[in-house]
Chains A and B, each alone.
Chain A
């Protein structure tokens, strides 16, 4: 559908072994590594957004991992020649697993909270996640509110202004995206990268 892709290479489905020396283990001022947790109702387009992003928009040589994998990582280079490696943690969106979310956002540097602009319920759910993170997330977490499926404007039920207002009130970054058309997907991650706290270079 909206974000279906060509079949991935089978070998790409394998997890990288623990033996691979994680040279990015020690972040420095030039090369950041950040844990990003995805929150939002099932069906709002979280997986599609990540796939759009990871499919090599920024670096055509980066290899795509499993389609639909729950853990993906992607490195982007910024204008100021720093790089940011996003380690993207997907969470199960079904209601019965909602109570487990704190285990996933603990220690996250970024939370991307996604709703579907055609679904007011998903916007309500997004607000629930914002409140939850304000209460229990780490205080310096960078939060982004994302209204996805912007291509479906004829079915829009959440006005852009509602998203803007809510985000502003809560000190979050806001953007509307379409994983289907790839609109604003790169911008989303670039903007997040710019907002990350930089470790002071030593």
Chain B
């Protein structure tokens, strides 16, 4: 999809370079400048930008450059307009409030915990729909969402994810003779995939699409799938023991255990903080950093649970087999283990004193930076 989609945008830019469109260019630029100048509130921002899209649409329809254009050509121009404006105003409009950033972080953290114990059965996903390969494809689509800045392209990531899930449902009904369950099947799978994917800035992405996707386009099927992801987000935010039909104590214990497991790598290694700058990517394309991040967390889980030998290769070794060359490596491992052990002890102590987690104070500074940077820079990376 990526290849075909940039074409309308190029043709939009071409038209904008035509001297005849000077008036339009001027109006778009002046809107962008005036918009970035005002620090507004999101609800109002959405309306202002939607109004601007409509006014510009009228101007384009009347414009000599588009005289005799088909509806599709006009539509392409409007998609180009949306992409241009929203890319320019991205840092000003995407995850731009402290609440949004906090919400994103909280959701992502909760998902990290859920990932450690949530099973498909908790959500009523029938066995015939438990298909790792399909899920992985769907997750991949969802995780691409921050690789794009335009609302349309972000929405497409959601649509593509839902398309993969629908194909899974369709195949199950054909080859497994599974009686199609419609939303009864679709929503649980989407929620599960969302939890497995832990897509970056889920809340902010959904809100951004809601506010800034051209209103005449967020309808019908697109609106339905967008709503389903909003619904998945909402389910995750409110998720408790009852949502999974398990005992309160079992739920609390699982969450507590997950906190313990997830916390250690954060203290001992800076990898997670560093990796969360993946948002810097500016152009569409596979977002490898995001995959790396997830794998890292999983590695840690495995290592801590002691089920994978690879991180501690000397576990099976005999003293006689060791050479001097092993000393450096052994010492490194020794330090690593001691550090992890200490922070684990600290965590346990900390948890028994208070259940609340102390969060790294990184997002405050980001916010300041964004405010000062104005519009043209890529400041869309936030620790989440």
Contacts and interface: CB of A to CB of B under 8 A. Distances in A.
Contact of B181 (A7, A10, A47): A47
B188 A92 contact: yes
B234 A68 contact: no
A71 B221 contact: yes
A26 B224 contact: no
A71 B234 CA distance: 20
A91 B183 contact: yes
Given A13-B166, A70-B182, A100-B231, A92 B187 contact: yes
Interface secondary structure of A, over-half rule: loop
A100 B234 contact: yes
A97 B187 contact: yes
A169 interface: no
B234 A92 contact: no
B245 A15 contact: no
B221 A15 contact: yes
Interface string A1-23: 10010011010011111100111
B363 to A, nearest CB: 27
A15 B170 contact: no
Interface string B188-218: 1000000000000000000000000000110
Given A97-B235, A103-B227, A68 B162 contact: no
Nearest to B228: A70
B235 A100 contact: yes
Interface in A76-129: 87, 89-94, 96-97, 99-100, 103-104
A29 interface: no
A90 B123 CA distance: 18
A5 B119 CA distance: 32
Contact of A18 (B156, B166, B227): B156
A18 B71 contact: no
A75 interface: no
A96 B188 CA distance: 10
Contacts of B75: 21
Interface string B234-245: 110010001111
A8 B170 contact: yes
A69 B227 contact: no
Given A22-B220, A89-B224, A14 B186 contact: no
Nearest to A88: B224
B20 interface: no
A42 interface: yes
Nearest to B191: A97
Interface residues of B, number: 46
Contacts of A33: 219-220
Nearest to B122: A96
Interface in B234-282: 234-235, 238, 242-245
A18 B72 contact: no
A139 interface: no
Contact of A69 (B182, B188, B235, B244): B182
Contacts of B185: 68, 70
B67 to A, nearest CB: 19
Interface string B51-73: 00000000000000000000110
B183 A93 contact: yes
Given A18-B217, A22-B219, A68 B169 contact: yes
B224 A70 contact: yes
A100 B219 CA distance: 19
A90 B182 contact: yes
B369 interface: no
B224 A71 contact: yes
Nearest to B232: A100
A120 to B, nearest CB: 21
Contact of A90 (B183, B221, B234, B235): B183
B166 A21 contact: no
Interface stretch (B38-46, B92-100, B107-115, B172-180): B172-180
Contacts of B217: 18, 22, 25
B225 interface: yes
Contacts of B245: 96
Contact of A96 (B159, B169, B243): B243
Contact of B216 (A25, A46, A93): A25
Contacts of A8: 170
Nearest to A87: B220
A69 B168 CA distance: 11
Given A15-B159, A47-B181, A92-B183, A66 B170 contact: yes
29 contacts: A4-B179, A7-B174, A14-B163, A15-B162, A15-B166, A18-B217, A22-B217, A42-B181, A47-B181, A50-B182, A67-B173, A68-B170, A68-B173, A68-B182, A69-B169, A70-B182, A70-B183, A70-B228, A90-B186, A91-B183, A93-B183, A94-B124, A94-B188, A96-B242, A97-B187, A99-B238, A100-B235, A103-B230, A103-B231
Query: Nearest 8 CB-CB pairs, A to B?
Result: A68-B180, A90-B183, A70-B183, A13-B170, A92-B187, A90-B182, A71-B224, A47-B182
Interface of A: 1, 4, 7-8, 10, 13-18, 21-23, 25-26, 33, 42, 46-47, 50, 66-71, 73, 87, 89-94, 96-97, 99-100, 103-104
Interface of B: 71-72, 75, 123-124, 152, 155-156, 159, 162-163, 166-167, 169-170, 173-174, 179-188, 216-217, 219-222, 224-225, 227-228, 230-231, 234-235, 238, 242-245
